[in-house]
Amino acid sequence: IFRDSLKKPSEARLRVVQIIGPVGTGKTCTVIRFGQRFEDDAHKLGVKLKHLYVNLKLHGGSRVLLYRYLVQRAAPPVFSTSLSAEELIYQLLTYLQGKGEHLLITLDEIDYFLRQSKESRVIYDLTRLDEMVQPGEPCGVIGLIATARSKEFHTHLDRAELSSLGRLPIEFKPYTEEQIYSILQQRVDEAFQPRAVPQRVLEYVADITAGPV
């Protein structure tokens, strides 16, 4: 989805991806690891790119607080607590374009943020960043990844927000008992002496973990 953006980052348009899956399916681990690898790939090509991971339970109390956090992390020289939400985003994009820098933003737990803040405008703002700069010019943010536990949060969005978010999420399904057992076996092999953990213990843990919540 994002690899082509590194070929000509100055021409890359914003791409939006949803990662949907219940607790324990590896969404957060995956996006953090992907962001690290994508940053590394970019730097090898001489592209100034930063993956900005945001845990919305910690840094997303409201729309303006979220945007302040984004600017503090990505463009500290232009940060100011006196700026409105719209001004913060504009300053962020202006900074990125002026410095020739690029962002990949991950919003983890977007469903939690929408339930708590009721500010669905965030979806509209961040999925349409290309429209906030000069027509035809990329905004500097090449990607937005949003994770959620289910697609239920779509009910909080209007038609314009749903349209810009897209309707084809990547779904992470719960691990099966066999998959959990395989993961546990690999971890045990790395962490314990041979035969220290009986097979029946791994089977028991896998059965409990894969069972209904």
Tell me the pLDDT tens digit for each residue of 67-77: 999 999 999 99
Integer Cα distance of 35 and 39 in angstroms: 6
Q: Cα separations (Å) of 204 from 24, 126, 181? A: 18, 44, 9
Report the percent of the chain where pLDDT is more than 90.
Answer: 76
Report the percent of the chain where pLDDT is more than 70.
Answer: 98
pLDDT of residue 61: 85
Task: Please tell me what DSSP assigns to residue 24.
Answer: T
Q: In this structure, are residues 154 and 110 in contact, taking their beta carbons and an 8 Å threshold? A: no
> Would you say the C-alpha torsion 81, 82, 86, 90 has a positive or negative sign?
negative
Q: Residue 109: pLDDT above 90?
A: yes
Q: In this structure, are residues 109 and 56 in contact, taking their beta carbons and an 8 Å threshold? A: yes
Instruction: Give me the DSSP letters along 129-177.
Output: GGGGSSTT---SEEEEEEEESSGGGGGGS-HHHHHHH-S-PEEPPPPPH
pLDDT of residue 14: 92
Express each pLDDT in 131-145 by its tens digit: 887 766 789 999 999
pTM score: 0.89
Q: Residue 117: pLDDT above 70?
A: yes
Integer Cα distance of 19 and 168 in angstroms: 10
Q: Residue 213: pLDDT above 80?
A: no
Closest CA to 70 of 111, 25, 106: 106
User: 83-98: b or e for each residue (b if 16 or more CB lie within 10 Å)?
Assistant: bebeebbebbbbbbbe
Express each pLDDT in 14-62 by its tens digit: 999 999 999 989 999 999 999 999 999 999 999 999 999 999 999 878 9
- pLDDT-based confidence at residue 111 (cuts at 50, 70, 90): very high
- pLDDT-based confidence at residue 156 (cuts at 50, 70, 90): confident
